[in-house]
Amino acid sequence: MLEWVIRLCSIDSTSRLSNLPVIEVIADEARRLGLDPKICPRPDNPEKANLLITVPAADGSTSGGIVLSGHTDVVPVDGQKWDSDPFTPEIRDGRLYGRGTCDMKGFIGVAVALLPDMIAAELTEPIHLALSYDEEIGCIGGEQIVKDIANLGLNPRAAIIGEPSGMRVITGHKSVNLARVTFHGKAAHSSLTSAGVNAIEYAAKFISYVRIRADEWRAEGPFDDAFELPYSTTGSNMVTGGIATNTVPELCVVHCEFRTIGSVNPQVTMAEYEAYARELEAQMQTEDASASVDFEVLAAVPGLDTPPDAAAISLGRELGGVPSDDKVTYGTEAGQFAGAGMEAIVCGPGDIAQAHAANEWIALDQLDSCADFIAQLITRLSR
């Protein structure tokens, strides 16, 4: 088990790179075991792909069953101070250090290591491994992989997404939504401000609008106390604009995000953000008709709110997942699986606090707990 985790974490699959080296090494293992892995390339980028591996039921059926899902990409290590090479995993004091150990090649490595056990078990229903690309930049592969699953006619009844939860059974998370708003003003010498349209000033109005929305959610709700932050959140997290101190800026770009609890509709919220951007565009055009605003939705990852009586929750707990009423603030692909008709939970090894950080690590006993969890699934589905 640990060998597979180390092997996968030794491959640099930062989102800006291809994830094919990870996909291919796992697909080769599946073929060695007599399985038929399906590599599903990203439609607009052949250097990225999802991977689906089905261990059929004893009667040969591949439809139905349970999905074990994880993403193969990791976040960058640029600018971080590591005590060891992030892509040369090291064991120290009961922990495995390295990029992706926690998020989430630990889970994937355990699942791959247990493929032989799945094959030997004579399953009553199939187990599917669903491994995606580009989760870290907006769950792009997750949106595609549920389509890949449908196209192959797999029809799983439930999905377990192995994001780091300390092996708690998590039934809810916020939506994640990202927009890029580009303000096109008109350049002019700064001594002739009336001859230009200041893109930064209009971007600042939009940023203020986002902050007002954040303050309203924080003060007025709606609230869901199952979350650590029990309200929806938003912020403007990256801004670029201007070329010189003596020039009215022609361009300013704002990246903003918001994360909503279940009672806040993210589609409606995104439409409101865009409507305000259009108001600002109209104001800009009163100064010069050539001014404009581009509003682009870069990511719209649905939230997760699995009903408390869902069979997937009972399954997760029966397999040894730690019962929990908590919901998590980070986003996952679970909402995409749920939106495709599968009951979904989040349950995986490690602590999200270690993810994305320098010296990322996972406790070895968490990997053991994950192995026990998947082994219990195999036993439960075995004849």
Check whether residue 50 and residue 161 sit in a common domain.
Answer: yes
- The two structure tokens encoding residue 6: 């180390």
What local confidence, expressed as pLDDT, does residue 185 receive?
98
What local confidence, expressed as pLDDT, does residue 329 receive?
85
CA distance 350 to 354: 8
Check whether residue 219 and residue 336 sit in a common domain.
Answer: no
Summarize pLDDT for 221-233 with one digit per residue, the tens: 999 999 989 999 9
CATH number for the domain including 293? 3.30.70.360
CA dihedral (80, 82, 85, 90) positive or negative? negative
What local confidence, expressed as pLDDT, does residue 80 receive?
96
Q: Looking at the predicted structure, is the pLDDT value of residue 102 above 90?
A: yes
Angle 2-9/20-32 helices, nearest 10 degrees? 150
DSSP bridge pairs for 90: 97
Residue 383's pLDDT band (boundaries 50, 70, 90)? confident
Check whether residue 308 and residue 292 sit in a common domain.
Answer: no
Check whether residue 243 and residue 229 sit in a common domain.
Answer: yes
What local confidence, expressed as pLDDT, does residue 105 receive?
98
- The whole-model pTM stands at 0.91
- The two structure tokens encoding residue 113: 């290591």
Check whether residue 375 and residue 288 sit in a common domain.
Answer: no
Three-state DSSP class for 85? coil
Check whether residue 24 and residue 144 sit in a common domain.
Answer: yes
Check whether residue 227 and residue 85 sit in a common domain.
Answer: no
Three-state DSSP class for 57? coil
Residue 333: which region, alpha, beta or left (left: phi > 0; alpha: psi -120 to 50)? Answer: alpha
Check whether residue 157 and residue 87 sit in a common domain.
Answer: yes
CATH number for the domain including 92? 3.40.630.10
Kindly report the average pLDDT of the chain as a whole number. 97
Check whether residue 215 and residue 296 sit in a common domain.
Answer: yes
Check whether residue 99 and residue 209 sit in a common domain.
Answer: no
Domain assignment of residue 295, given as a range: 175-301
Summarize pLDDT for 167-179 with one digit per residue, the tens: 999 999 999 999 9
- The two structure tokens encoding residue 164: 């780091």
Q: Out of 245, 275, 301, pick the residue that ends a domain.
A: 301
Residue 136's pLDDT band (boundaries 50, 70, 90)? very high
Q: Looking at the predicted structure, is the pLDDT value of residue 326 above 90?
A: no
DSSP code, position 17? S
What local confidence, expressed as pLDDT, does residue 74 receive?
97
Summarize pLDDT for 4-51 with one digit per residue, the tens: 999 999 999 999 999 999 999 999 999 999 999 999 999 999 999 999
CA distance 207 to 204: 5
Q: Out of 260, 286, 301, pick the residue that ends a domain.
A: 301
Total number of domains in the chain: 2
Helix (H) or strand (E) run with residue 148 in it: helix 140-151
Check whether residue 23 and residue 126 sit in a common domain.
Answer: yes
Round to the nearest angstrom and report the end-to-end CA distance of the chain: 24
Check whether residue 144 and residue 213 sit in a common domain.
Answer: no
Mean pLDDT of 356-360: 96
Q: Out of 286, 301, 316, pick the residue that ends a domain.
A: 301
Mean pLDDT of 300-321: 96
